[in-house]
Chain A
Amino acid sequence: MQDIGRRSRRFDALDKARGTEQFATDIYPPDMLWAGALRAGVPHGIIRRIETARAEKVEGVVAVLTRKDVPGTNRQGFVYWDMPVLCGTRVRHAGDAVALVLAESRRALAEALRAIEMEIEPLPVVDTLDAALADDAPNIHGLDTGNVLKAATIAKGDAEAGLAECDVVVEETFYTPAQEHAFIETENGVARIDDDGTLHMTVSTQAPFRDRFEIGRALGLDPSRIHVTGPYLGGGFGGKDGATVQCLLALAAMHAKGRPVKMWWNREESMLAGYKRHAARMRFTAGAKRDGTLHAVRCELDYDTGAYAHLGVEIMALGMEHSGGPYRLPHLEAKGRCVYTNNPVAGAFRGFGVAQVSFAFEGMMDRLAHALGMDPLKFRLRNAITRGERNCAGVTMTTSTGMEECLLRLRDHPHWKSREAWRADAPPFTRRAVGVAAVFNGMGYGRGLADYAVAKVRLTGSGRIRVYNGVSDMGQGNASTFVQMAGEILCQPESVMELVQPDTDRTHPSGSAAAGRTTYTYGKALIKACETLRDKLFNRAALMLFVDDGSGFAMIPGGVRHLPTGRDLPLAALAAMMHPDDRISMAEHLMPVTPEPVRGGEAFTLGFPHLLFPYAAHLARIEVDELTGRVAVLDYVAFTDGGRVLNPQNFEQQVHGSVAQGLGYALTEDVLTEAGVLRSTDLCTYVIPTSLDLPDIESHAVETIEHTGPFGMKGIGEVGLNGPLPAVASALYSAGLPMTRAPFTFGRVLAALEDDQPGTGSEAAS
């Protein structure tokens, strides 16, 4: 039975284990062409010449397209439309596409791409925030505001006056790197235009419904003639929220004379042209009262959005909204700037702007606790936000707020209680430390963009239950949870259930798989749809059984039972008498937003503020090797408030996955560029953790009830990523190694060790 709360196997587990699940990459239609893009290779420049004649003559080449072949606006994006499908005059990062080739084979494609002659006159490269903000910086997009795409302020109380009232005030500047999503399945899809002009596309995407509008605008196509299918993804993490291959692939299909076209970026192209997490610089000033009350925070956040906006402004907005931490903070002033550079394009990534500031606000908590002579966990606990209080952005927490409980549970964990003894027992050349972090992550789109979903469920003609999922499942398991929800309400086992994955012709617009909203919003709609279907089945059964009405019926596996008379009716029998349209139920849901006025944020059109937050308290036990600077995370514990847990297995997998990705962010992952040119070009030079680098991760659910959520749940897809970086930093700080720049590579840690012990360090050094 697919009951809520059960550790039931994922609905897709067997298909994936057997390799029968079809990802977009698995699709090779007959008579297919390959499409591929020529990348600029130069981070900033003016295109002087593109000569395609030689490439067109390569055997097997069907078409070589450039800017002049692009109809429509030639602009991709979904809040800001600033990214060309094919660059015509100017390139703004090394991964910009300047030509598109269609060929019969990959070999012909590669040869033709090499045969295109391209002359780009280089412009000065804007490769850092400082370079972008300099008075004489080259203006990348010709904005009146220079390279500042958006500057904004949010405020609560009076930060200036608040800081003046503090007994201790600390200042620090923190830096976080660009991070690569590094999903297993790189960006890809297949597309075809059929005889009636409809564009059919199967693509690895987090936003199949929105993709139609992005493609339509960029290429001058009617979105209603674009049909997108979104199978399971081999990972997304935000990197497939917004067009990757979509517009190029659609353009290719427009020149393929009805033949299907496949585009599949290899790892190097994914590294070069795919989206990254924004690198950030965060200047913080924070103050507290002598009694341990956090009182005021002022910060300036600069996000490097690379060559194009993507969701950079919204990402910055979330960073600002969370910059005071999950604490009852009376005074906050957060200033943000989202800045264009010639670096790789930054976009959505699990922890959307919050992963960056979590390092900064938790770093400030460690420094304040130290300045106050207070235990860092006690200091966090003392200030943890609770229900009924206004959070740091000024929104009253009217819903589940488990921050304090997460910290209390962590305080009682053996790893925390034994920290002094464990630290003292360090082997030679080793420092041991235990760090903690308290984090949160706004759920849903926030105000200004309706966070909605439309669910559909059907009793099939043969008496099975089919759920029409409208939100992509990139591995997080929402589709499986939807089956579980329908199974719960309709009392049906897995064997009776069917699942349709997102398809703009068959399922209904339900927003993107993003923002920890996926299960929450669609789940609420689905519950209503399933309840409607159930009531309908009872009423139709009443007709068949000649009873007065649908009351007195209960769902049983495979059918319904009339309890007063004990008579059963199989679902197949019900299905046979119902009109096909009658066997469908649909319902929709909108995530609530706060009606409360907040100060600042007028510059954002959407995405601020949020009402619902999952919370987490993390602990990392680390060892630092004094000879090499290597940081080993030996134990990891996560307490997570995601409301009620619908499936403990899926919950743990989300926590484990996000902690693993967060530890990579903390320790090794860094998209390195030099003058805008990528240096970490593949998974050999971009270092993600392996199983040997990760500790066992203990996951504990702190089950509040989120009354607005489906069965009391909140989304935890993102919050877990925000913890590891500050938790490891907190451990390092307590070991005498204050780190302000992530990741904590062994080179940086060795330098910190030398700073901490100049005597020993230089003796070992010279």
Chain B
Amino acid sequence: MTDPAIFTKDLTRTFGAFTAVENISFDVKKGEIFGFLGANGAGKTTAMKMLTGLLAPSSGEASVNGFDVYTESEEIKKSIGYMSQKFSLYDDLTVSENIEFYGGVYGLPTKALKQKIEEILYTIKLTEVKDALVVSLPLGWKQKLAFSVSILHNPSVVFLDEPTGGVDPVTRRQFWERIYEAADKGITVFVTTHYMDEAEYCDRVSIMVDGKIEALDSPENLKRSFSTDSIEDVFIRLARGAKRSDT
């Protein structure tokens, strides 16, 4: 059996007397699209920070691509991609300059990078605006570009933190096609979203409430066990009982 792409066991993080993440345990398989859901403040961001090597856990175990979050956080950072709505691209660089910049950061050879830029621009249909400043692009285009940049270095796992918030419905779906495509190529996708229809696009989803994972299964099984036909219903029933929200 191959190692899981992401592994956690009793992973916990406290801030003073406050337990942000409490004993979460799960595996994400290679090539899986894993939806990480939870109400505002449930602990999703803290958990993601630990998995991306940005924050040390208080206790428990976790590894990403076989690298330990306590001792090998630098190796983790090199082997993952990350994008969020907040930090993604440089507004005052052009579309192709952004790709070039990140290619340089990830140490891609010049020749390969040139080819990669063409390839990305073609796939996400941005060739025509390659010399436009990113600031002038609609949000949905930026997000498609940010996603392509986040997997520029062929990471084994990509973390997407609310990648589609506020994006128009057509572009949102084009975005998800890129996610499917990445997963099809074997990239593991770990994604958070507030759009409950997007939860349905995941192979499995977990729902966090007050720092704990209260449910984890395929969307189909979750709906069956809650006897409902929408993930939104499952989510609302679990999260309604939440004692806390975000800080």
A and B together in one complex:
no
